[in-house]
């Protein structure tokens, strides 16, 4: 028998509830968010929220699962893109792209939300870190190791070098964001990312002469 297609109305309601729940959990935290709040934000009946998700814990887990999928897709795309990089001159452009994606998108609010609930959902925090930021760092480490193999960088530990690169590019503003600072402007993000990449190159490029 042909597979039955999902009802588009159910899919729309599900997406609306997840969007509303994400906004409420980020703004208010898990404990202070009620299913009534979520239903009101989504423009649906409270019964609909319960019918689709069952309870608040399941809803929170689904919100986090969707955020992890988005973050993991970004990290995977970066990993694939970096596999073709072969020139250190490309690092400033990489720095700007990475910083824009992390600092001006949903990553920082999602991290704040997860850290606030780390005692309640430690496994979700660990999964997010493994599938998103750690995967991104791994992609950068592989790139730096490959560039070092060509002699264009001097890297004794690619994992440490990747951490240096990431912090120089966006670490300070990421830290500020985790304490609730508003997202920085794209101009600020790009200026600091470029400066961070240039500082990294000064430290890791072979010294002339």
Structure tokens, 8? 């588009």
Residue 84 has pLDDT above 90, yes or no: no
Provide DSSP, 42-82. Answer: HTS-HHHHHHHH-SHHHHHHHHHHHHHHHHHHHHHHHHHHH
**175-189 residue pLDDT tens:** 999 999 999 999 999
Looking at the structure, tell me whether residues 48 and 68 fall in a common domain. Answer: no
Looking at the structure, tell me whether residues 167 and 91 fall in a common domain. Answer: yes
Looking at the structure, tell me whether residues 98 and 42 fall in a common domain. Answer: no
pLDDT recorded at residue 5 = 55
Q: What does pTM read for this prediction? A: 0.84
Looking at the structure, tell me whether residues 49 and 71 fall in a common domain. Answer: no
Residue 47: give the domain boundaries.
1-54
Q: What is the mean pLDDT of residues 68-86?
A: 85
The answer to the question of residue 188 being in a domain is yes
Looking at the structure, tell me whether residues 33 and 73 fall in a common domain. Answer: no
Looking at the structure, tell me whether residues 22 and 87 fall in a common domain. Answer: no
Confidence of residue 99 (pLDDT cuts 50, 70, 90): very high
Looking at the structure, tell me whether residues 85 and 169 fall in a common domain. Answer: yes
Residues 61/69/14/122 CA torsion (nearest 10 deg): 10
Contacts of 101 (CB under 8 A, 6+ apart): 74, 107
Domain harbouring 185, CATH code: 1.10.357.10
Looking at the structure, tell me whether residues 139 and 171 fall in a common domain. Answer: yes
Residues 95/98/99/104 CA torsion (nearest 10 deg): 160
């Amino acid at each position: 028998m042909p597979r039955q297609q999902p009802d588009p109305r159910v899919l729309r309601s599900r997406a609306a509830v997840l969007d509303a729940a994400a906004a409420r959990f980020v703004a208010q935290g898990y404990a202070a968010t009620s299913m009534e709040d979520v239903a009101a934000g989504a423009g649906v009946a409270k019964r609909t929220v319960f019918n689709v998700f069952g309870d608040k814990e399941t809803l929170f887990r689904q919100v986090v699962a969707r955020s992890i999928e988005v973050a993991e897709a970004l990290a995977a795309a970066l990993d694939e893109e970096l596999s073709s990089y072969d020139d250190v001159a490309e690092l400033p452009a990489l720095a700007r792209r990475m910083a824009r994606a992390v600092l001006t998108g949903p990553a920082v609010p999602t991290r704040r939300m997860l850290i606030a609930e780390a005692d309640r959902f430690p496994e979700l925090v660990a999964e997010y870190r493994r599938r998103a930021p750690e995967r991104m760092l791994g992609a950068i480490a592989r790139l730096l190791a490959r560039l070092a193999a060509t002699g264009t960088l001097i890297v004794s530990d690619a994992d440490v070098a990747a951490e240096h690169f990431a912090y120089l590019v966006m670490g300070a503003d990421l830290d500020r964001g985790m304490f609730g600072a508003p997202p920085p402007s794209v101009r600020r993000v790009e200026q600091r990312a470029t400066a961070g990449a240039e500082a990294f190159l000064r430290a890791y490029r072979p010294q002339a002469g």
